A and B are shown apart, each in its own frame.
Chain A
């Protein structure tokens, strides 16, 4: 049983019988640490490619889901059923002229898309994709995720400010107001989960959900914390900035919100970050409330296949959450900014506190 992706890679290399010989070579040269760094680079590289491919797939999926709801086909021309559409989008965006407005702050304007994109990737570090499929099981995993997510509003504010455009600035201000007011209920509902597990580590949280009650109902936190689940889902969608909470863009009011002035690859960075964020947040919802990669069938799977099967289970659950977010986007209109803040502070926060109280009772009563 391996603990994280590093050990898994070492385990696989050992199984193939190549780990010891290569390690010996590096040891003879006295640069053993370089081998370790190489393995880390490989695992991070795999994660990076996986996330980027997922993001590309998600943009395609978004179009297809919208099309299904709206009685259309969506992309059909590029590749089988339009699967290569994201590639074509990328090619198009790379080919665009990279425009920086004359009165924009050049440095910050260029920097902002990267500051948005990097946290969107960093969030994946403590996310367990499957058994052993985790880059690093941080002891403060959950705190880390919430903290890293809180970096993106700063970048959005930078982008909106540096563009020197009124629409961008308004979009950025809204985004920050929204992020601050929804991170609080998000964190409060996450704390309720921590009460049950007694640990911030994402792996511990998943392991705590691995059993079943009465042999049928999986021990997922959604059953213990239905209110918490709903609150967390709403707050997550608000954090992602998707309809009905897509104020940073709100294209019918603010043209395109904070990225009004962005074009080409810089725009693509925002776009990629948005979908990476969607994937990450859905993964977090699954990890916290839907049992992560666990499923009652896992104990019957051969140990060799467990990482693979658990990855499959995780992806199925995550895509279910993603589908829900996309479905929601096609169904409901956008709320108004003040209504959003009212919902956040006057409804979500009190309910999250109530939920925390309920969780406290449950823990004290020894239900879990």
Chain B
């Protein structure tokens, strides 16, 4: 029988493209013959903005890259600037940074798993995820006043010290989270329909994953033991006891399990950090003065100068963000603004593997595979 190809534009306005992504699909009935992601609907010229703004002014823009996990974005940029300028960071500030980043990893994975399940048609997980996310966001709010875009991590330290009552609330969150993760596993892991939808779907071999430049849970789901926190340790991670979560199945299910395991590891890290957080100042560079233990917003500007000139040079610095390797390349010409900022965002690189993953599968599989890639469009288009 003669059949026609069907071309479907999925997105940019579609319930499960997580924003303004568009897939151009060449379909043979329900089977995807070719899938082409069309990007750029959320392009804001962030990299160019980096050249226009001073080093400190650019930090709020990094919040808006991967808006689900803004702390690691802050940190990745600030780490690059610190390496460029050779700024030392006091231990307490590093501890606070790790607390924020690991909390943010949990938040990110909650949303990721929730929206994956929502795409599969199970609406409960996202609500449960948002319930716990709310607790974490309240912690963030306590810490820096913002819930999503923090602008909290600054070169040389953090903006403010942890407030009173933060640590007990964090401990409560950790205790609560442990039980919640068990709940999630009970709801999802043994669900026959979920397994049917996830196992052997969106398979990408370790070799392909590396070639496509995939990183983060998506790469570890393909059996590659690559976690920058282990592989190229930064901050206080060398002192902490945790393991990189790796699964060998290479399919959507493996990527989902890696996320659940990572949440558990993050909880483990947080418990260690909370117990051993040292009493010290939160900003290092004596040139900028010594920040008080508790800073008010007015005090902060006193300790972080608005104008900041690192020496000429260039640096590429990368961290393990919740979604994968987040790298900032900064070239400095010795002025107050970077000469060039390049962002290597995990979402963008992970997304490139989608056409390979879904070829010959069906539209529902595209949704499932795309959900496990965990893409935020702000991070893809920059």
Q: Which residues of A contact B (CB under 8 A)?
A: 66, 69-72, 166-167, 170, 243-244, 246, 250-255, 330-339
Contact = CB atoms under 8 A, between A and B. Distances in A.
Contacts of B193: 244, 332-335
Contacts of A246: 121
Contacts of B131: 71
B362 A337 contact: yes
B324 to A, nearest CB: 24
A320 to B, nearest CB: 21
Contacts of A334: 120-122, 193, 197, 364
B9 to A, nearest CB: 9
B237 to A, nearest CB: 34
A156 B6 CA distance: 21
21 contacts: A70-B123, A71-B127, A71-B128, A170-B30, A252-B15, A253-B16, A253-B363, A330-B123, A331-B122, A332-B121, A332-B193, A333-B121, A333-B194, A334-B121, A334-B122, A335-B193, A336-B197, A336-B362, A336-B365, A338-B30, A339-B196
B128 A252 contact: no
A232 B59 CA distance: 59
Contacts of B196: 335-336, 339
A330 B119 CA distance: 13
Nearest to B6: A166
A176 to B, nearest CB: 14
Nearest to B371: A252
A331 B124 contact: yes
Given A253-B367, A336-B362, 9 more contacts: A243-B121, A250-B121, A252-B120, A330-B122, A330-B124, A331-B124, A336-B364, A336-B365, A338-B362
A264 B8 CA distance: 26
Contacts of B187: 331
B364 A70 contact: no
Contacts of A166: 6, 8
Contacts of A69: 124
Contacts of B364: 250, 253, 334, 336-337
Nearest to A167: B8
A251 B15 CA distance: 7
A72 B362 CA distance: 34
Contacts of A255: 14-15
A168 to B, nearest CB: 12
A301 to B, nearest CB: 40
A173 B196 CA distance: 22
Contact of A332 (B118, B119, B122): B122
A334 B117 CA distance: 9
A334 B364 CA distance: 9
A250 B118 CA distance: 11
A243 B194 CA distance: 13
Interface string B180-222: 0000000100010110110000000000000000000000000
A234 to B, nearest CB: 12
A170 B117 CA distance: 22
A337 B30 contact: yes
Contacts of B121: 243-244, 246, 250, 252, 332-334
Interface in B108-159: 117-124, 127-128, 131
A336 to B, nearest CB: 5
Interface in B308-366: 362-365
Contacts of B362: 336-338
Contacts of A253: 16, 363-364, 367
B371 to A, nearest CB: 9
B367 A66 contact: no
A252 B123 contact: no
B264 to A, nearest CB: 22
A331 B197 CA distance: 15
B127 A333 contact: no
A254 B362 CA distance: 12
Contacts of A251: 15
Nearest to A70: B127
B179 to A, nearest CB: 14
A255 B14 CA distance: 6
Contacts of B363: 170, 253-254
Contacts of B16: 252-253
Contact of A72 (B15, B127, B194): B127
A284 B372 CA distance: 40
A159 B187 CA distance: 36
A354 B117 CA distance: 35
B191 A332 contact: yes
Given A70-B127, A331-B187, A333-B191, A252 B367 contact: yes
A244 B122 CA distance: 8
A70 B124 contact: yes
Contacts of A243: 121-122
Contacts of A252: 15-16, 118-121, 367
Contacts of B191: 331-333
Contacts of B127: 70-72
A251 B14 CA distance: 9
Nearest to A338: B362
A343 B257 CA distance: 26
Interface string B1-39: 000001010000011100000000000001000000000
A250 B16 CA distance: 11
Nearest to B7: A166
A253 B30 CA distance: 11
Interface string B37-54: 000000000000000000
Nearest to A256: B15
Contacts of B15: 251-252, 255
B17 to A, nearest CB: 10
B116 to A, nearest CB: 9
